[in-house]
A and B are shown apart, each in its own frame.
Chain A
């Protein structure tokens, strides 16, 4: 077997996505001459960072056939908690971050336990989590937009640059690489895919589906926490509404990246390209001076289109079937 062609085949999805991405860039550069500037592209990459970081962990839930809708609330809460630990309780910033990460992991663990042990659909559990985490965030911050002025090293996480490139971009790419390796090269990754592909078969070959899922939701919460810390540092602000609606962007990136919500397959790199695409679409709307309200509209449409494409349904066939349904002929008359 030719290894080169095998490698090519394995990354078909990602390559095709990359093609679409390039196409989108061409269109955008034709629409606006402000698009292909270093400033603008850096801006896009920067705004993609938070979604990208969340995506690296959130992608595991769909691979097992579940979903995590709590990532945005978790991120907002993480920023607020980190600020409380550092600036109200006066902890060292590293300790504060570590404690925040542990809390994030605990919440993800709880999501996983409730979903697996009590057989509650994941979207219900994580939606309820999204709500109560938002409540806790509001309660702790008293609903205020708290400005974070110190400590300086903490702020460097978000606004610092290394070799001219913002640090959050390093963080994102590190997490993408780690997540890609975790999914494709480790025992845990294999088990995650197996649970999503056929839980019964996986169980009969020695995989513990519950344990796997609990870890999956824990990872999802941890990356959301990391995104929240980066966000707090980047915006120098802790605010419960800071990430509102991001879960939809995260799902969009994952779905666009070719991951089926039915489970059994997924691509971290694809999701990253999906995140960049979401970033470009938003950027395009900005460049066209469209109001920000177009953002959820675009996201919603992109999700539906990507889902239908992932599902492999032929749209003309469905429409034809619908128009040919009994009663349609009479209705037309």
Chain B
């Protein structure tokens, strides 16, 4: 269409600004992609990677900045369909595939080849076209396979084929290996290199430094919504990327992050050789009174699964859990009765009941203490507990009848924590305590956890936010692929060390 001389840049974003009615998520970010390169986009959680991708693909609109794609100016009111027409494709894990349909049907959905002059699908031709594509790339698939029966790695290749059939010139892959095995990941890397050979540009988002190191031609590092650096060729080393991502040396005021050895105290929880097929592998550790034990690792490393197994949500295959010196086989009800508290990772889906008042949300976890043996709830006791939780945690607005769904993220999280605080709490499990929480509420959450540990409550914290993990923990265990790979017990641990361990770059650390 355009007769311009094609520049060697496929995408050029300049000065991208974005704020979601408040905090600045991206400020003046430049991001450019060359034709046929593999470009890694890295940064800590909250650095702005997904927002940048959403802007490029038209899922959200930018507040300022220009985008030029393949010589065309991309307007601010960009949308998903338009970006697809331009040739931008996002490879989802499985979101966009239709169950019950064959590989070929999925690839050609809404653009099936028709019999000449008739409105009928030419199934033979469709299967042949799909098979041809599959063979061209040497995928381990058949055009007539039903999607449901394929493992996730192969579904991903179907997604890639779908994008190829759309003549995509840019493919964005967001953490594509998070649920793949090592072998499957290798195969994916081969495919990515093949795409590159075809002249397709691939944006690769990953926390796994060794993958980024192996694959990328160039790396863009984001931090706190700003562009930090673009690395190329020799400059790309895992250590350098991690240094740029974290971006600061240890300073004096962070010395209170120094870990405290509390392992001489009474053991509250002991986990011995816990294994669950495909999730956990021989995990053992002890948790002591008043200790804050942090769990680091990448998404999919088994942290959440471990917490769920200990709390009694999911069963495990082998191993033993000891609680206060006795063998403990957990169920949720038993855990609550024994003084556990659980703050799940996805607040909206698992934590709060949005259509119900603060009182109702807090009451439901405390029915045992606010009701009579006959099963009647005491409204007075319930209100009194709720008021206690509201004032200790500074929940705003301080109105017990306020619907939780209408609270801010930080206050919602306070409600989820608050329902456990008014109990005789011995062990608190917190999974991602501050995702979607504003800075003020974040600090309050940290203070609450500190206070609980001073009061003798044992706390387990799972967090992908490294400053948070090092700030809170007395001891840090790093998981990788369902195993404990490293334990930091004393001194000052840096975010860099945790991230290296989680990424599998441990000098002599791995067994």
Contacts and interface: CB of A to CB of B under 8 A. Distances in A.
Is chain B found bound to chain A in the same assembly?
Answer: yes
A185 B374 CA distance: 11
A208 B349 CA distance: 17
Interface stretch (A95-103, A115-123, A197-205, A320-328): A197-205
Interface string A254-268: 000000000011000
B27 interface: no
Contacts of A186: 371, 375-377
A9 B357 CA distance: 13
Interface string B320-337: 000000000000110011
B355 A204 contact: no
B354 interface: yes
B499 interface: no
Interface in A174-218: 185-191, 193-194, 197-198, 200-208
B354 A190 contact: no
B99 to A, nearest CB: 17
A6 interface: yes
Given A190-B377, A204-B344, A205-B365, A198 B353 contact: yes
B297 interface: no
Interface in B344-402: 344, 349-356, 360, 363-365, 367, 371, 375-377, 379, 399-401
A203 B377 CA distance: 19
Nearest to B363: A190
Given A190-B367, A206-B336, A201 B350 contact: yes
A194 B355 contact: no
B419 interface: yes
Contact of B354 (A185, A193, A197, A208): A197
Given A190-B367, A193-B360, A205-B419, A185 B377 contact: yes
B69 interface: no
The A interface, classified by DSSP as helix, strand, loop or mixed, is helix
A9 B401 contact: yes
Interface range on chain A (Cβ under 8 Å from partner):
20 to 34
A201 B344 CA distance: 9
B355 A265 contact: yes
B159 to A, nearest CB: 28
A9 B352 CA distance: 22
Contacts of B367: 187, 190-191, 206
Contact of B355 (A205, A208, A264): A264
Given A190-B360, A191-B364, A201 B353 contact: yes
Contacts of B295: none
B365 A206 contact: yes
B210 to A, nearest CB: 35
Contacts of A203: 313, 332
A271 B360 CA distance: 22
B342 interface: yes
Given A185-B376, A187-B375, A208-B333, A197 B365 contact: no
A190 to B, nearest CB: 6
A198 B401 contact: no
A207 B313 CA distance: 12
A201 B371 CA distance: 20
A202 B364 contact: yes
A218 to B, nearest CB: 16
Contacts of A264: 353, 355-356
A188 B375 CA distance: 7
A187 B351 CA distance: 20
A205 B367 CA distance: 10
Nearest to A263: B355
Contacts of A10: 401
Contacts of A202: 353, 364
Best-surrounded residue of A10, A186, A198, A264 (most CB of chain B within 10 A)? A198
Interface string B396-427: 00011100000000000000000100000000
Contacts of B360: 190, 193-194, 197
B290 to A, nearest CB: 25
A185 B401 CA distance: 16
Interface string B286-322: 0000000000000000000000000101000000000
B352 A201 contact: yes
A204 B377 contact: no
Given A201-B344, A201-B350, 19 more contacts: A1-B399, A185-B379, A187-B367, A187-B376, A187-B377, A188-B375, A190-B363, A190-B377, A193-B356, A194-B353, A194-B356, A197-B354, A198-B354, A201-B349, A203-B313, A205-B336, A205-B365, A205-B419, A206-B333
The 8 closest A-B pairs by CB, nearest first: A197-B353, A205-B365, A206-B336, A198-B353, A264-B355, A187-B375, A194-B364, A187-B367
19 contacts: A1-B400, A187-B377, A188-B375, A190-B364, A190-B377, A191-B364, A194-B353, A194-B360, A197-B360, A198-B349, A201-B349, A201-B351, A201-B353, A204-B332, A204-B350, A205-B364, A205-B365, A206-B333, A264-B353
